[in-house]
Amino acid sequence: MNISGSSLPVMSGASESGEVYSASLAKKQQQADGAAALALIEGAAQSTSAQTPAKSVTATLGNNINVYV
């Protein structure tokens, strides 16, 4: 695949308007990425708080060993 500047779509108007359009698209993408990251963090925080704590092991577990000789 050959990618060159001549194959890119031409923006109507000055090159400055193309830069503004590109910056606007980049900003929208960054906002979408940020929103997705925040949703992921909030989802992870909710799932850990909703989990039940692990049951603790009693101190007597393994203290009695029956050995027959």
pLDDT of residue 8: 55
At 45 the three-state DSSP class reads helix
Determine whether 11 is exposed, middle or buried from the number of CB atoms within 10 Å of its CB (0-12, 13-18, 19+). middle
Letter string b/e over residues 18-31, b meaning 16 or more CB atoms within 10 A of that residue's CB: eeeeeeeeeeeeee
24-63 pLDDT tens trace: 999 999 999 999 999 999 888 876 555 555 666 556 666 7
pTM for this entry: 0.46
The structure tokens listed for 21 are: 């359009």
pLDDT of residue 59: 63
CA atoms within 13 Å, Cβ hemisphere of 45: 6
